[in-house]
Structure 1
């Protein structure tokens, strides 16, 4: 082969590689903005036609105290609703991806009616809390721990249950093995949480955009390491659950195509041997719709779990 031909091939090959890298970089920035950067567009609320809409209306009538903490350099906001009868038992209710405390009112009312104090925080980069980057539970777990510590400092006799929905569910699972989590936290309830951020984003890339994990998800993970200090695989609920010692109830819908139902079984299997664990699978429930699909079974299961492990 002549030198001129080789040179042309080298130039063409280099150009193609450079173009592909440029395309990947552009796609990475685009999808990073979609997946990680704060967006305050109002999120879906419980529809007025929902079986649980009366719970939302009741919760709206309750007196709420606005609380603020500062953690990791961010001001974080929450609602606190005391139980009707004085109690040491409190549930921290953690919302999901691109949601806020307002979207969790039906759950707040659920636990209020069970006789609990209720704390509904806005995650970082959501609602009234500060922050610009979504962390898929990796940093959010530290915020949940900070709220638990605040409640414990104010009442050393407090008994806390962590409850989370979707990303919030992954968050409370990721918090479960942290040494900083106070002993006052004695049980965990998660609803439709993913096994880890890598698996969820890989699944979303395929199901929503028909994009394979390589190279985009790898590039997203690398960019996130630069911007936030962690790779996607480090935001892992299953890893945390393998060290969790607190009783846990895992809930999912069998028609969930956003966080696939298979992840329920991954999380359930991951729980540390000997740790009390229970599972509820709601037939016909889509993502984050288990409570609305079968309110009575949902409430009864949670009530039974809390009586068993938290004395309700």
Structure 2
């Protein structure tokens, strides 16, 4: 009798574990879809096609909308997807910038930055990341697979515009993290500097932060849910979330980098920029923009943003 009860107890325990595991895997798949599959995101405000005259960056956005753009394309680094970019030349300038959009943003959403760099005398190349805008793809990579695509864009830029180009890599939010991840790669000597605006320390850090902020998720069940999501991401996208680390890549970087972050950023918390800043090995500058929320430093301080960018880049590019 005792042996039968013991077996029933073990069977009940096994069934319970299987059911709980199933619930967590199901939840992990749900959060993977929310975080990594392209589509409407309720937690994002999105971009309006209409530009209001009250917009502090109205003139920059209107210039971009009216300006003629070339369309460039490449195959992704893994050969799976066709990627598309805008290219805007600046006469015969040998200064070029690659502008990297944020999470679910497109090359068209980066118009104010393309205008800014045009005013500073730069050619601009703005790719749509995988699965965003006109670029093909199944999943949002948060910058980790995209970093290798950017290296291909670099090589195309040099092939088309010549080896005398001096190149800056600039990104905002996910684009900022992508720029930092790119900085740890072996790059052509023509890459002279980086500018990252409100990028995160790692993909895992950012997803854990959003799980806590957006869903009010406590330490449990945030762990093990994020670990399960990480495993799903490894199967579908090709890397564990913790592998997508800006900090690890910055440890390999010896090129100059300007770090920008809004003082009131809660989406990518401001505290992350200090860890990123400490990690890089090259010349560096940091500007925490007063009263600026996520990706709003330029809109909040357009003149100072331009001046800081111009002053920093003038030290390394002529």
TM bucket normalised to smaller: over 0.9
Question: Within 1, Cα distance between the matches of 2:72 and 2:46?
Answer: 22
Question: Within 1, Cα distance between the matches of 2:269 and 2:26?
Answer: 28
The range that moved more, 68-77 or 124-133, is 68-77
Contact 1:40 1:127 in 2 (8 A): no
Contact 1:90 1:117 in 2 (8 A): yes
What corresponds to 1:200 in structure 2? 206
What corresponds to 2:308 in structure 1? 301
Matched, 1:58 2:67: no
Question: Within 2, Cα distance between the matches of 1:199 and 1:69?
Answer: 31
Matched, 1:87 2:93: yes
* 1:211-258 deviation digits (Å, cap 9, x = unpaired): 233110000111111122211111111111111011000000010001
- What secondary structure sits across from 1:310 in the alignment? coil
Question: Within 2, Cα distance between the matches of 1:123 and 1:64?
Answer: 18
Runs (4+) off by over 6 Å: none
Q: CA shift at 1:45, angstroms?
A: 4.0
Matched, 1:160 2:131: no
Matches for 1:120-159 after TM superposition, within 5 Å:
120-154=126-160, 155-159=162-166
Contact 1:45 1:103 in 2 (8 A): no
Matched, 1:190 2:192: no
* 1:244-295 deviation digits (Å, cap 9, x = unpaired): 01100000001000100010001000011xx110001101111111111111
TM-score where L is the length of structure 2:
0.93
- What secondary structure sits across from 1:162 in the alignment? strand
- What secondary structure sits across from 1:87 in the alignment? coil
Matched positions, count:
307
Contact 1:137 1:168 in 2 (8 A): yes
From 269, 285, 288, the counterpart of 1:281: 288
Q: CA shift at 1:153, angstroms?
A: 1.5
RMSD: 1.6
Contact 1:242 1:271 in 2 (8 A): yes
Matched, 1:3 2:3: yes
Unaligned runs of 5+ in 1: none
TM-score where L is the length of structure 1:
0.95
- What secondary structure sits across from 2:93 in the alignment? coil
Question: Within 1, Cα distance between the matches of 2:55 and 2:27?
Answer: 38
Question: Within 1, Cα distance between the matches of 2:249 and 2:189?
Answer: 16
The range that moved more, 134-143 or 42-51, is 42-51
Question: Within 2, Cα distance between the matches of 1:250 and 1:132?
Answer: 30
